[in-house]
Copies of this chain bind each other. A is one copy, B any other.
């Protein structure tokens, strides 16, 4: 890099980003299903545009405010993959959204469906199904009853969706992809028994994406794949040479014979899954581990056989969970051929409502 940006800051490798976007698009094309990437990972219209240009069918978002940000930027087909509780305030916002874009919403309860229908009559919905993550969603066999109730309340039931989040575990991806397929099949069949033909059968997470088969899902919604992160690295869903986002950090201390970096939890996020080997990885030093993370310090256990990098040295940190990292930043610095060529605003940062 010609001039080193002040640290800590987030760098996006443009070539790797585009390669990740193309690879996922090609994978979906090969499966013959739609790709509707989750924009919560990048929150960035420039990246969403590249996903659409590569063939994505639309965007997934998590909140009404994320939908508002992307709608304002001209993205016209949005799925809010969340069982929203729609009170009058949120209802008014959804009605304004529906005036300008196509927006579909998740439902996982009869009460939630009725509240939505009262505010946004005729809204398009997908019934959320629990495929084993045990977060939200109904049992696959109950999807038909909920779909029927939603239709009776006046909603337009497009189909079913699930998030197989239990794929975020060691050696789980293939098994979980099977559970996802089984749950979505059962849910789709459950809708048919109520006379509702599912037009959309939607699943997908980054770890399980490569195990998605043909014949059940009509679309998938991975998010993290655009960047990759230390979780995907440690789960084997990506490799360091494909990771497109890192946090540039500076060595500020050698206290205790460790390397202490200025990239703490206020820039990386505090995520640490039980199976993670630390609080993040170093892109160019795969044997190093972040053993302690506080708000502005990352303490790195440095491999024995190598010398500590000098105080003031820059190092690239790979965060454990990139979605939370991006949500802490105001901008992403775009790197191409070793130089910062652009800065993209994280337009939907903090868009939680």
Alpha-carbon gap, A296 to B85, bound state (A): 13
The answer to whether A136 and B297 touch (CB under 8 A), given A87-B312, A130-B255, is: yes
Q: Mark A56-86, 1 if CB is under 8 A from B, else 0.
A: 0000001100000000000000000011110
Residues of B within 8 A of A4 (CB): 87
**Known contacts A115-B312, A312-B115; is-contact A136 B252 (Cβ 8 Å):** yes
B contact residues around A82 at 8 Å (CB): 252, 296
B295–A62 touching, CB < 8 Å: yes
A136-157: contact bitstring with B at CB < 8 Å (1 yes, 0 no)?
1110000000000000000000
Each complex incorporates copies of this chain amounting to 2
- Provide the A243-272 mask, 1 if CB < 8 A to any CB of B, else 0: 000000011111110001010111101111
Inter-chain CA distance A324–B264, complex, in Å, is: 10
Contact (A134, B353) CB under 8 Å given A109-B311, A270-B269, A271-B265: no
Tell me whether B6 and A294 are in contact (CB under 8 A).
no
The A78-102 residues at the B interface (CB cut-off 8 A) are 82-85, 87, 89-90
Which of under 10, 10 to 19, 20 to 34, or 35 or more describes the interface residues of A? 35 or more
A340 at interface (Cβ–Cβ under 8 A)? no
CB pair B138 A295 closer than 8 Å: no
Give A292 to B135 CA distance when docked, in angstroms. Answer: 8
Interface contact B295-A324, CB-CB below 8 Å: yes
Which residues of B sit under 8 angstroms from A337, Cβ to Cβ? none
Q: Which residues of B contact A253 (CB under 8 A)?
A: 83, 108-109, 112, 136-137
A189 within 8 A of B: no
Query: Quick check: which of A18-26, A27-35, A327-335 contacts chain B, the rest being far away?
Result: A327-335
| Contact (Cβ within 8 A) A135 B8 | no
Give A1-20 interface residues, CB cut-off 8 Å to B.
4, 6-9
- Whether A328 lies near B299 (C-beta < 8 A) is no
Kindly provide the distance from the CB of A21 to the nearest chain B CB, expressed in whole angstroms: 21
A230 at the interface (CB under 8 A from B): no
**CB atoms of B109 and A324 under 8 A apart:** no
What is the bound-complex CA distance between A134 and B297, given in angstroms?
Answer: 11
Are B271 and A8 in contact, with the CB atoms below 8 A?
Answer: no
Give 17 new A-B contacts, CB below 8 A, not counting A62-B295, A87-B312: A4-B87, A85-B250, A109-B253, A109-B311, A112-B252, A112-B253, A134-B292, A134-B299, A135-B292, A136-B260, A265-B324, A266-B324, A267-B352, A269-B269, A269-B270, A272-B272, A296-B352
Give 21 CB contacts A-B under 8 Å: A82-B296, A84-B252, A85-B251, A85-B252, A85-B311, A85-B312, A109-B253, A109-B311, A115-B311, A135-B255, A135-B292, A135-B297, A265-B269, A265-B271, A265-B324, A266-B323, A266-B324, A269-B270, A295-B323, A327-B328, A330-B350
